[in-house]
Structure 1
Amino acid sequence: MIEQTEPSKRVSAVSRGSNRGRLVEVLRRQGPLPRVELARSTGLSFPAISAITSKLIAEEVLREAETETVSWPDDSEDEDADGLTLRRRGRPAVLLTLNPEFGRVVAVSLRMNMIETLIADFSGSAVAQSRLELPTRALDASALRTLVVAQIDAMLDATATPRHRLLGIGIALQGIVNADTGHHLWSPALSATDIDLAKPIREAFGIEPVMANDAVAVALALTAAEPALAQGLSATIVVGHGVGMGVVLDGEARWGADAGSEIGHVKLAPDGPQCRCGQRGCIEAYLADYALYRDARTFLDLPPAASQQPSEPQMALLCERAQGGDPRLEHLFQAAGRSLAEAVAATISVLRPHHVILAGPGLQAFEMMRHAYEERLEQAVLPWLLKSTAIYVRPSESAAIVDGMVRRTLRVVDRNRMETAE
């Protein structure tokens, strides 16, 4: 069931968009390339590539990198559709790459008791990163807005980033997000609801922020790390502080409405354990780390968790105790495995994705869930549907959130700057 055969591929999203945007997207996906390879990857003629890259170099969007010697299998591959010779056999090829100094983007992850900030250059490489631990549920809407702006300001100052070089700001949030309006509607990490985060960022920096559910950001980071997972429709189920899902098509989240799903709040039992959303019996109430830790403390002497949210060391202690063979903990993790199977079954049955990726720090304990998970999944999904989806287990750290948010923010920057300049 794990690591099944890969499904058929879809046409890449590279074929869409403006000529400038297509070129920049190829370089962002594939890294430095010679002009001849840019022509092949974008489908543009070599003269068109030469003209566009010359303009982008003049605008400091691109730069020439170190050369490498290339050899083509035969002479026919050295010609474009018009019969123009593109490169002689064995000659050094000048590589074009994105200019890291063209600008920078900031990504912010807001989750339970933590705000993490990453600043990256135009190529997507990290410049600096910070993590601030604080009781997030104690923040009212005004304090939250002030804090987010202050963290971005502090990162710009710490890296001596000129304000005119700030190209984009991305905000990844735990909970329900309206990506169109910039409103954070609800989160277990906050007591305040329906918070407009876009307006203060717009006023402070003159930039429209890119907003997303944190599961979407994780999905983008994982599919970028493994290009095979970006082909077709991928659904990433993230297990950790909560349970969420990010949906990615051909390596990109849908533009406009947020591509996140509250899969963790699908009900398994009307009278089940308490969920942080206020309801009972949600998938999250069996599977999320706070639920496992809460239930384990009813029969084990474990230290209390801040805001009922266990820390990473506390969850590591719980897993260590479970591996010691306590049958009561084994029962908890098996129940968690069955709830994970229900989340996967619902995803496959409704979306029929090419890939389902199981991710997040909660998957560090997957081996303790595996037997119950596999047994329940076999029962919950039609066999031919189950065979049509490849399932991968990719435990991931929380840093994947800001990494993915950098990617999404840069994609929006590319689209806005390149396509409007066309």
Structure 2
Amino acid sequence: MALSSTDTSRIGNTLAVIRTLRDQGPVARTDLGKLNGISSATVTSISSELLQQGLISERPPETPRSNGRGRPKTLIELKPNAACVVCIKLSINEIQLVVGDFAGQVRHSELHVVPTLTMSADDLAALLEDKISTVCTQQLKGFQRLAGICLAVQGVVSSQSGTVIWSPALSFRNAPVSARLAERFHCSVLLENDANCIASVLAAQSAYADCPNLVVIMLGYGIGMSVLINGVPYLGANGSAAEFGHSKYHPDGALCACGRRGCIEAYASDYALYRAAASHLELPSGDSAHPSEQQMQALTQLALNGEPTVQRIYAEAGRALGFGIANVLALFNPDLVLITGSGVRGFDVMQTAMHSAINDALVAELMGTTRIESCAWERDMTCMGGIALALHATDTQTLLDSD
């Protein structure tokens, strides 16, 4: 039976099956029904349609049970090449392009060093068109369709209008980018804040299933935050909510990349830590304004080894984080504050001062039962989140287009 865009119940059940297969991998039909509260007959009908549309495939039956009782289960899974999405992570002077398949797995990744800080809006749009076009030509052979594109950006974006309002990676403001890319590549284009992409990955993990009110703080070159209230990202009136890094720690204090002084980012980001250390110590040569991972690892190791100046700098960063987190606890009372990002490498040196600042700032009743934890940055979750968001946004159209 072909699906129509008005058959909302049927589409809802079909999307539930697709997303369960994406989250859990191969699943038997009977288990899909139990996981989604759908009857066996409905699951059988849906899977038959998805097989015909080329969106799923069957695995060979499992080995028969030794006692000879019961038929072996046949598992079904998404066909990875049924569709793909492209995620572009835009940060200071570099862009990363990643191709994700229909099952949500990364199939290709490439990094380009580009002068984002000196580009005009037209320059950036032209660059993105060129890089995406090249990826499509070289990497999308074998995929049935390009379902969508996600652009993950540091800073303030309007997902609704597809406009980059402000980003520390760019010299211009209020640039519409989504519409131009959508017209060029004939697919949906999502514009997302990078921290929200990361939060979407973490919120989907079973370890945080009991945390619908979740705050994710991303430490790295800059500092970002995402606030989920009852599982939904809080964006604010124009997408600028949760700009934790640009809230104030010390008025008239250290200079931030945003051009203002005293922001939390001006004390706890990679560039702030390295800048403070470089003013006191002889450090390895490199770009002090945009330190590399190797430079930051070396700096963190100095702190871990007990170098007093660097320890003091990291303690100040911890205090800045702590007073900022205290404000978050008082304002939002989340279930969990989760600290992640590449900058979490230095969390062990920051956390004593951070917790001390929180205790100084808040009475115990305002801290409540909120947990504060760190999450290892073993892989960059920005593009993984962008892939997941793009697939989720385009699944319905992929389903309808496959009829």
| TM-score, normalised by the number of residues in structure 2 | 0.89
Q: Counterpart in 2 of 1:390?
A: 371
Which secondary structure does the structure 1 equivalent of 2:165 belong to? strand
Work out which of the residue numbers 250, 253, 258 in structure 2 matches 1:277: 258
Select which of 96, 102, 112 maps to 1:116. 96
The answer to whether the 8 A contact 2:198-2:381 is kept is yes
Q: Which of 105, 108, 111 is the aligned partner of 1:128?
A: 108
Amino acid at match of 1:293: Y
- Distance change in 2, residues 1:400/1:326 (3 Å): same
* Cross-structure match for 1:50: 44
Counterpart CA distance in 1 for 2:374 and 2:284 is: 30
Letter of the 1:272 partner, please give it.
G
Partners in 2 of 1:22 and 1:371 — Cα distance?
A: 44
The question of 1:357 aligning with 2:323 is answered no
Which segment is superposed worse, 383-392 or 406-415? Answer: 383-392
CA contact (8 A) 2:274 2:288 kept: no
Tell me the secondary structure at the aligned position of residue 66 of structure 1.
coil
Deviation at 1:127, TM superposition (A): 1.1
SS for the counterpart of 2:157 is: strand
Deviation at 1:307, TM superposition (A): 8.0
TM (normalized to structure 1)? Answer: 0.85
Residue 324 of structure 1 and its aligned partner are, at CA, apart by 3.8
Query: Which residue does 2:226 correspond to in 1?
Result: 246
Deviations 1:270-322 (A, max 9, x none): 22111111221111111111111112121122356548221112212222333
What amino acid does structure 1 have at the position aligned with 2:389? Answer: R
Counterpart CA distance in 1 for 2:143 and 2:79 is 18
Which letter does structure 2 place at the counterpart of 1:301? E
Structure 2: distance between partners of 1:299 and 1:32: 56
Identity percentage over the alignment? 33
User: What's the RMSD between the two structures over aligned residues?
Assistant: 2.8
> Hey, what does 1:211 align to over in structure 2?
191
Could you tell me whether the CA contact under 8 Å between 1:253 and 1:259 is conserved in 2? no
Cα distance in 2 for residues equivalent to 1:252 and 1:97: 28
Q: Is the 8 A contact 2:156 2:239 kept in 1?
A: no
Aligned to 1:18: 12
For the Cα contact (< 8 Å) 1:156–1:162, is it kept in 2? no
Given the alignment, which residue of 284, 287, 291 partners 1:310?
291
AA aligned opposite 2:318: G
Length, aligned pairs only = 391
Q: Distance in 1 between matches of 2:336 and 2:64?
A: 35
- Return the letter of the residue paired with 2:242: S
- Between 1:134-143 and 1:355-364, the stretch displaced more is 134-143
Write the deviation string for residues 189-232 of structure 1: whole angstroms up to 9, x where unpaired.
Answer: 111211111122112101221111111111122334x3221442
Q: Which has the higher contact order (CA 8 A, sep 6+)?
A: 1
**Does residue 189 of structure 2 align to residue 228 of structure 1?**
no
Which structure 2 segments of 5+ residues have no match?
A: 1-8
Q: Which amino acid aligns with 2:23?
A: R
Q: Deviations over 1:36-59 (max 9, x none)?
A: 111111111111111111111111
The C-alpha deviation readout for 1:77-124, integer Å capped at 9, x for no partner, is: xxxxxxxxxxx9632111121111111111110001210011011001
